Structure 1
Amino acid sequence: MNLSLLLFLIGILGFIINRKNIILMIISIELMLLAVTLLILISSFSFDDNVGQTFSVYIITIAGAESVVGLSILVAYYRSRLVLNEY
Structure 2
Amino acid sequence: MLAMLTTLMTFYMSQNNMMTLLMAMEMLLLTMTVKMLYVGNYMNDMEGTMFGLFMMMLAGAESAMGLSLLVSYYRLRGKVTNML
Shift of 1:81: 2.1
TM-score, scaled to structure 2: 0.85
Q: Kindly provide the amino acid, as one letter, of the partner of residue 55 in structure 1.
A: F
Which one of 54, 74, 77 corresponds to residue 78 of structure 1?
74
Structural mapping, 1:5-84, within 5 Å: 5-82=1-78
Contact kept, 8 Å, 2:37 with 2:53, in 1: the verdict is no
Whose helix proportion is higher, 1 or 2?
Answer: 1
CA RMSD in angstroms, aligned pairs only: 1.1
Letter in 1 for 2:42: S
Contact 2:3 2:31 in 1 (8 A): yes
Could you tell me which runs of 5 or more consecutive residues in structure 2 were left unpaired when the two chains were aligned: 79-84
The number of equivalent residue pairs is: 78
Q: TM-score, normalised by structure 1?
A: 0.83
Task: For residue 38 of structure 1, report the CA deviation from its aligned partner.
Answer: 1.4
Q: Once superposed, which parts of structure 1, at least 4 consecutive aligned residues long, lie more than 3 Å away? A: none
The answer to whether the 8 A contact 2:40-2:49 is kept is yes
Gaps of 5+ in 1: 83-87
Q: Distance in 1 between matches of 2:77 and 2:24?
A: 25
Overall identity of the aligned pairs, in %: 33
